[in-house]
Amino acid sequence: MLEYHKSIATSNDSHTKEAVSLVESYPRVPLTVDCVIFGFDEKALKVLVIKSDLAQYTGKYSLLGAHVKSNEDLANAAHRVLLERTGMKDVYLEQVHSFGRPDRHPGGRVVTTVYASLLNVKHHALSITDHELNWHHVDQITEMAFDHKEILDTCVRWLQKRIQEHPLAFNLLPKKFSLRQLQNVYEAILNSKMDRRNFRKKFAAMGYLIDTNEMEVHVTHRPGKLYTFDFEGYEQRKKNGIGIDF
Amino acid sequence: MLEYHKSIATSNDSHTKEAVSLVESYPRVPLTVDCVIFGFDEKALKVLVIKSDLAQYTGKYSLLGAHVKSNEDLANAAHRVLLERTGMKDVYLEQVHSFGRPDRHPGGRVVTTVYASLLNVKHHALSITDHELNWHHVDQITEMAFDHKEILDTCVRWLQKRIQEHPLAFNLLPKKFSLRQLQNVYEAILNSKMDRRNFRKKFAAMGYLIDTNEMEVHVTHRPGKLYTFDFEGYEQRKKNGIGIDF
DNA sequence: GCAAAAGTGTTGTCCTTACACCCATGC
DNA sequence: GCATGGGTGTAAGGACAACACTTTTGC
What confidence tens digit (pLDDT) does each residue in A190-212 have? 999 999 999 999 999 999 999 99
Cα radius of gyration rounded to whole Å, chain B: 23
Helices (H), B37-194: 74-86, 148-162, 169-172, 179-190
Distance B28 CA to D1 C1' (A): 71
Band (pLDDT 50/70/90 cuts) for residue A6 is very low
CA distances from A16 to B55, B56, B106 (A): 9, 8, 7
Out of A50-54, A226-230, B5-9, least confident range: B5-9
Over residues B89-93, mean pLDDT: 92
Band (pLDDT 50/70/90 cuts) for residue A139 is very high
Higher pLDDT, B43 or A176: A176
Alpha-carbon dihedral sign for residues B93, B97, B100, B106: negative
Band (pLDDT 50/70/90 cuts) for residue A13 is confident
Residues in chain B closer than 8 A to A80 (CB atoms): none
Q: How far is B173 from chain A (nearest CA, A)?
A: 28
What confidence tens digit (pLDDT) does each residue in B218-237 have? 999 999 999 999 999 999 99
CA pair distance B169, B118, nearest whole angstrom = 8
Put simply, the answer to whether A14 touches B70 (Cβ < 8 Å) is no
pLDDT (0 to 100) of residue A128: 87
pLDDT (0 to 100) of residue A86: 93
Name which of A67, A95, A108 is nearest B98 (Cβ-Cβ). A95
**Mean pLDDT, chain A, integer:** 92
CA pair distance B34, B50, nearest whole angstrom = 12
Half-sphere exposure (Cβ direction) of A29: Cα atoms closer than 13 Å: 28
Helix (H, G, I), strand (E, B) or coil at A137: strand
Burial class (CB in 10 A: 0-12, 13-18, 19+), A16: middle
Asked if B231 and B210 touch (Cβ cutoff 8 Å), the reply is no
Q: Which protein residue's Cα is closest to nucleotide D2 at C1'?
A: A221
pLDDT at A5 over 70: no
CA distances from B146 to A71, A186, B79, B107 (A): 17, 40, 21, 10
Note the pTM of the prediction, 2 decimals: 0.93
Over residues B152-169, mean pLDDT: 96
CA pair distance A92, A117, nearest whole angstrom = 6
Task: Tell which residue, A135, A124, A128, A58, has the closest CA to residue A91.
Answer: A124
pLDDT (0 to 100) of residue B7: 45
pLDDT (0 to 100) of residue B4: 44
What confidence tens digit (pLDDT) does each residue in A23-58 have? 999 999 999 999 999 999 878 899 999 999 899 999
Out of A74-83, A122-131, B142-151, least confident range: A122-131
Band (pLDDT 50/70/90 cuts) for residue A10 is low
Nucleotides of C under 7 A from a protein CB: 3-10, 15-20, 23-27
All domains of chain A, ordered by start, with CATH? Answer: 31-163 (3.90.79.10), 168-238 (1.10.10.10)
